[in-house]
């Protein structure tokens, strides 16, 4: 049996796809230690993992980011994005102390969140066991990446994107390099966002058809989405029987974190589809479903069992969380993505590029344009067909037993 250390940021979108891997490793008889934040200690402990909680200085509460991360509350927009990335990088020393305490007990392989900065120190230090990266964010390396441009317009856009991303990630890059130099005595030009390419491999939680083909320095294993969401976790509401196929079902969500302002996507989608012959199913991701008077064709819940909901859906409208998008693709559901924060613009670009729907790298979309996009995707079978092709790729991918074997045996 092997000893596995799992390092994961205390965020629902990171913990969700990690828990099934931890459960599968434990079920196969392997020892699993987890380093994460206090909010998710019990989520892993009940599975049987040995959990080490990060020091408060490098922990955070995703339900109150401004309150748990000093200096964040007064920032907005791009400045906030730069600050958050630098904050992730700045956690490296505290994270590495926690990781080294576990490594001292003996570990055969490390599974590491790509935004868990200690992973960068581990792969550059060179004395760690095998390090595999949990690929539940877009595969951006080298940051940023786009396929070979077609024409002048795409070349100009690519050049502008590279300049923007260099500016966006500059604080995190400098903080990470400084910590690497101070902690392990290594000078590096490696970007904080590109360190997974120095690992022993990436477990990318999607299908090959959703990621741009390219040559990469580290092996990439397409393992499909691992998140589960069953009726045992989220009980179906009383109106569940209305999902009977008598009219198209359009699911709308702003994910599990970006729910402070439902006016960015949920409210425009509800308004756009109020007069259409569809059933609009909204989840608020934990926020109380306070969206005002609802049209007759709208149903709202905080959470729903995705493994029961998505097979009944004809379209998903989302702000572009990588995990949620790939959960939809597991069931062949076409998508409309409207998102620009964090990695959302990268997800939107992949939705358009792969042909599974329409992606807009924007924070919001005007009601008429959103209505037109919905009607376009529902009317064109090519989107559903392409989403079905990616669902087939996911189904043909490795089983959870195969992934466990990959982790422990290489």
Evaluate whether residue 120 is within a structural domain: yes
The answer to whether residues 298 and 214 belong to one domain is no
pLDDT tens-digit series, residues 261-317: 777 899 999 999 998 999 999 998 765 655 568 899 999 998 899 999 999 999 999
- Give the separation between CA 240 and CA 4, rounded to whole angstroms: 40
Residue 244 lies in a domain: yes
Residue 74 lies in a domain: yes
pLDDT tens by residue, 141-174: 887 788 887 888 888 888 888 898 889 899 999 9
Domain membership flag for residue 234: no
pLDDT band at 9 (very low <50, low <70, confident <90, very high): very high
- 181 and 266 inside one domain: no
**Mean of pLDDT over the chain:** 92
**Same domain as 338, residue 311:** yes
> What is the arithmetic mean of pLDDT over 66-78?
88
Query: What is residue 25's three-state secondary structure?
Result: helix
For the ranges 21-25, 175-179, 263-267, the lowest mean pLDDT is seen at 263-267
What is the domain count for the chain?
A: 2
**Residues 316, 373 within the same domain:** yes
> Can you give the CATH number for the domain in which 338 is found?
3.40.50.2000
Residue 308 and residue 349 in one domain: yes
Are 152 and 188 in the same domain?
A: yes
Q: Are residues 252 and 191 in the same domain?
A: no
pTM of the model: 0.93
Pairing of strands 315-318, 279-283: unpaired
What's residue 76's pLDDT? 85
Residue 97, domain member (yes or no): yes
Q: How far is CA 338 from CA 55, 282, 314, 387, in A?
A: 35, 15, 17, 18
Residue 389 domain-assigned?
A: no
144 preceded by a cis bond (ω within 30 of 0): yes
Res 276: pLDDT: 95
Look up residue 176 and give its two tokens.
């990470």
Residue 263 shares a structural domain with residue 372: yes
Q: Please list the alpha-helical segments (H only) found in 32-140.
A: 41-45, 65-68, 77-90, 92-103, 118-125
Give the sheet arrangement for strand 109-112, strand by strand.
Answer: 50-53, 31-36, 3-7, 109-112, 130-135, 201-204, 220-222
| Domain shared by 355 and 263, yes or no | yes
Tell me which residue of 164, 218, 172 sits closest to 191, measured CA to CA: 172
Distance CA 64, CA 340 (A): 21
CA distances from residue 316 to 229, 252, 254, 347 in whole angstroms, order as listed: 16, 6, 11, 14
Q: What is the pLDDT confidence band of residue 257, given thresholds at 50, 70 and 90?
A: low
Same domain, 217 and 249: no
Q: Which of 73-77, 260-264, 358-362 has the lowest mean pLDDT?
A: 260-264
pLDDT in the model for residue 65: 86
Residue 386 lies in a domain: no
Does one domain contain both 184 and 244?
no
* Residue 398 clears pLDDT 90, i.e. is over it: yes
Host domain of residue 115: 3-228+397-409
Which of 256, 307, 309, 308 minimizes the C-alpha distance to 284? 256
Q: Is residue 369 part of a domain?
A: yes
Residue from 99, 66, 104, 106 nearest 83 by CA = 66
Residue 206 sits in the same domain as residue 254: no
Structure tokens at 64: 């109150």
């Amino acid at each position: 049996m092997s000893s596995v250390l799992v390092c994961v940021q205390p965020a629902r979108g990171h913990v969700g796809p990690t828990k099934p891997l931890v459960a599968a490793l434990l079920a196969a008889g392997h020892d699993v230690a987890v380093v994460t934040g206090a909010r998710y200690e019990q989520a892993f402990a009940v599975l049987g993992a040995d959990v080490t909680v990060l020091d408060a200085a490098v922990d955070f509460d995703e339900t109150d980011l401004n309150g748990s991360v000093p200096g964040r509350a007064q920032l907005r927009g791009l400045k906030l994005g730069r600050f958050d990335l630098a904050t992730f990088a700045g956690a490296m020393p505290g994270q590495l102390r926690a990781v080294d305490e576990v490594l001292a007990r003996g570990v055969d392989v490390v599974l590491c969140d790509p935004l868990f900065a200690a992973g960068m120190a581990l792969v550059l230090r060179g004395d760690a066991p095998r390090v595999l990266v949990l690929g539940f964010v877009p595969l951006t390396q080298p940051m940023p990446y786009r396929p070979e441009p077609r024409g002048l317009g795409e070349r100009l856009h690519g050049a502008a994107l590279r300049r923007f991303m260099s500016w966006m990630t500059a604080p995190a890059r400098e903080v990470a390099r400084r910590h690497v130099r101070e902690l392990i005595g290594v000078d590096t030009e490696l970007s904080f966002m590109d360190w997974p390419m120095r690992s022993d491999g990436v477990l990318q939680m999607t299908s090959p058809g959703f990621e741009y083909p390219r040559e990469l320095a580290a092996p990439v294993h397409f393992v499909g989405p691992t998140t589960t969401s069953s009726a045992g976790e989220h009980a179906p509401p009383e109106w569940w029987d209305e999902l009977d196929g008598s009219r198209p079902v359009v699911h709308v969500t702003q994910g599990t974190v970006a729910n402070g302002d439902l006016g960015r996507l949920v409210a425009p989608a509800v308004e756009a589809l109020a007069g259409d012959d569809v059933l609009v199913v909204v989840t608020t991701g934990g926020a109380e479903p306070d969206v005002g008077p609802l049209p007759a064709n709208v149903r709202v819940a905080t959470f729903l069992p995705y493994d029961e909901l998505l097979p009944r859906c004809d379209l998903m409208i989302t702000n572009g969380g990588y995990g949620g998008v790939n959960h939809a693709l597991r069931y062949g559901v076409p998508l409309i993505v409207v998102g620009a924060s964090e990695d959302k613009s990268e997800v939107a670009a992949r939705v358009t590029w792969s042909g599974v729907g329409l992606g807009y790298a924007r924070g919001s979309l005007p009601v008429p344009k959103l209505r037109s996009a919905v009607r376009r995707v529902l009317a064109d079978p090519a989107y559903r067909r392409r989403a079905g092709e990616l669902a087939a790729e996911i189904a043909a991918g490795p089983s959870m037993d195969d992934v466990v074997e990959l982790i422990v045996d290489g």
